[in-house]
Amino acid sequence: MTKHILFGLLSATVLLASCTQKPATHPTDEPFRSVYHHSPAANWMNDPNGMFYDEANGVWHLYYQHNPFGTTWGPMHWGHATSTDLLTWEEHPIVLYPDSIGTIFSGSAVIDKKNTAGFGENAIVAIFTQSERIGQHQSIAYSTDGGYTFTKYEGNPVLMGDIADFRDPKVFWDEQSNQWTMALACQQEIRFYGSPNLKDWTYLSSFGKDLGAHGGVWECPELIKLKMTNDQMVNKFVLLVSINPGGPFGGSATQYFVGDWDGKTFTPAPQGEGREGASKWLDYGKDNYSTFTFHNSPDGRLVAIGWMSNWQYAEVVPTVAFRSQNTIARDLFLFTDDEGEFRLGSVPSPESLALRGEETKYLPDAGIVELTLDGSQDALITLSNDKGEKVVMNLDVHRRTFSMDRTASGDCSFSHDFAARTVAPLFIKRDTYKVLLFIDHCSIEAFDAEGAWSMTNLVFPSEPYNHLDVQGGEAKIYTIR
């Protein structure tokens, strides 16, 4: 979750009655509606929630923080969309509504294959924060129709909060301790809880003091296990932690920690000389927040999606009927950089790469650009339109950085925090750098093609960028299928 205002339930009866209002539809001429990114049909969206993959039917389920009554943050519900390809999304009715316990903040969902909770074998169990005026608590709901409708557990809440910020449960089955494990954001630390049945939770440990960035409240944690092959197989855990504010370029961002998990305690791995306590960032743009992975992804993959915005200006970006959208799907993996440091890599998922259509000489308003840049010299990449609006990217081989400057990208007037230049370390020195640009109506996602870094930034040009200039390399432009 993410908004620091607690939504007080003035009257549960009034609030529930208001939920019968019909959300507005979106206009067909909305200029910033994305071609291949998920966005709500109308109104407000923030954190992705409860994502899971239904392997029997080949369906990806995405829930999300949703205000069905306006385009700014408000009484939170769980919206719902599904996809068979992670590119085209079908909207479904809201699955979780506020009740007398509180509004429905962020959380996760699992497939209870062993029927530990007693709701039925393979029941989908959602674990989420309910927020009210006097506090935040964790509740559960279950689905026996594959995730399309949910019934709230009559014994809610299952975990009572003892502090003001006590939210965003991410749950997984831990083979080491043979129980469910919950990572929970608690102000500026992460607490871990264990349960045999998703109903009864026991405190295990806490993590975070004096580690990482602490410029704002910690949110949306997730503990994931990764395998990496070098000379030998290495198993590590990565703890994702979103923070707002405190990101590297202002506002919200997602940091991570690499370490070990013993079934009770997360211990961060030693860092390189002079780096003790340094922050590591999942993405080096301003607009990738509250990133989560899908539960039960096929073939052991870690498929992630993030909310493509920043709390500095999320409620005032110049879209009309909706706010906001999500990133493309990305696969996460572990690697070591040139200094032997563990890093979390991110590449476009195969489903996202399947967007690439025919090669073209002209820059479409939504397309993919593949850059091949000479590692012996600096490179300058400029996207622009006939109005003179532009996004300038620079590969600096001496500083070993890739940057994106959107200060002249188009409309920046809605927030003094929007115009910015973001910078990513290259992490691995190469003779040739390949960079992928995913361009949509209001966003640019840049990736090191081998996953060493990623950068996600919104842009709002008055007309699409139709010129591409590359100095220090060459480009191939592809249409979108």
185-216: pLDDT as tens digits: 999 999 999 999 999 999 999 999 889 999 99
CA angle 281, 283, 284 (to 5 degrees): 90
* Whether pLDDT at 11 is above 60: no
Q: How confident is residue 272, by pLDDT bands cut at 50, 70 and 90?
A: low
Q: For the stretch 422-448, what's the b/e string if a residue is b when 16 or more beta carbons lie within 10 angstroms of its beta carbon?
A: bbbebbbeeeebebbbbbbbbbbbbbb
Average pLDDT over residues 209-234: 85
What token pair was written down for 466?
A: 């139709």
**Longest alpha-carbon distance in the chain:** 66
Of the candidates 410, 425, 413, the residue with the CA atom closest to the CA atom of residue 457: 410
Q: Is 230 exposed, middle or buried (0-12, 13-18, 19+ CB in 10 A)?
A: exposed
Average pLDDT over residues 409-420: 98
What local confidence, expressed as pLDDT, does residue 232 receive?
52
| Residues of the chain above pLDDT 90, percent | 88
Q: How confident is the model over 437-480, as pLDDT tens digits?
A: 999 999 999 999 999 999 999 999 999 999 999 999 999 999 99
What local confidence, expressed as pLDDT, does residue 273 receive?
47
Q: What is the DSSP string of 307-369?
A: E---TTTTTTSS-SSEE--BPPPEEEEEEE-TTS-EEEEEEE-HHHHTTEEEEESS--SSEEE
The answer to whether the beta carbons of residues 5 and 67 sit under 8 Å apart is no
* Whether pLDDT at 23 is above 70: no
What local confidence, expressed as pLDDT, does residue 16 receive?
29
Distance CA 16, CA 21 (A): 10
Average pLDDT over residues 1-7: 38
Average pLDDT over residues 215-239: 85
Q: How confident is residue 227, by pLDDT bands cut at 50, 70 and 90?
A: confident
* Whether pLDDT at 15 is above 90: no
What local confidence, expressed as pLDDT, does residue 6 receive?
31
Mean pLDDT of the chain: 92
Q: How confident is the model over 317-327, as pLDDT tens digits?
A: 999 999 999 99
Q: How confident is residue 217, by pLDDT bands cut at 50, 70 and 90?
A: very high
What local confidence, expressed as pLDDT, does residue 105 receive?
98
Strand partners, 381: 393, 470
What local confidence, expressed as pLDDT, does residue 18 receive?
30
What token pair was written down for 67?
A: 């205000």
What local confidence, expressed as pLDDT, does residue 169 receive?
98
* Whether pLDDT at 14 is above 80: no
What pTM, to 2 d.p., does this model score? 0.93
What local confidence, expressed as pLDDT, does residue 229 receive?
58
What local confidence, expressed as pLDDT, does residue 134 receive?
78
State yes or no: is 411 an active-site residue: no
The answer to whether the beta carbons of residues 347 and 330 sit under 8 Å apart is yes
Identify the active-site residue in 29, 47, 145, 338.
47
Amino acid at 469: D
